[in-house]
Amino acid sequence: MTIEKRLLMRWSRTPGCASDAERRALARALGRKRERMAFPDDFSAFIDPLRKRVIEKHSRQSEEGEAFRALREIRIRASPSWTAKSVDLWLWFVVEADQILTAGSSATSYIQKWMDLIRPRGRFTSVDGVCVMLDDMTATDYVESDPLDLDHLSIAAL
């Protein structure tokens, strides 16, 4: 909407974020839609069982829901590349440092169940994953991987 400058000048500024962590969280939320990786169509179909599980369980008051909510993000790397005829996938289930002792342990117990939803098939010849904190990843691991959106890992086929 448009606001006249005279009216705007009378208002006092109220900051929306009180800390650097809140500012980073806001920036991540705003950028999530625009920065989303355009995954190949066959990967979207491949990851769909995990996407459905996230949507089904994330908001539930259950141990698995808590495990999903403990995740900061899920990152994935395709090796040697997304366009290769044979692709190895590696997933990092990233947990915040302050969550690792509580919910992180339940996330770790669910990793194998989540990984079982995306068994190797087609050109995705191997799939592996691990629960980590950001400190456990190298900068190269982080930069060469792509985030999977926890709300909508990939846009579902309509």
Residue 27 forms part of a structural domain: no
The predicted-structure confidence for 72-102, as pLDDT tens digits, reads as follows: 889 999 999 999 999 999 999 998 776 655 5
Overall domain count for the chain:
1
pTM for the structure as a whole: 0.73
Q: Which residues of 87-122 are buried (b: 16+ CB within 10 A; e: fewer)?
A: bebbbbbbbeeebbeebbebbbebeeebbeebeeee
Domain of residue 45, residue span: 39-148
Q: For residue 47, how far is the Cα from the chain centroid?
A: 13
CATH number at 129 reads 3.30.460
List the end-to-end C-alpha distance of the chain, in Å, as a whole number.
Answer: 32
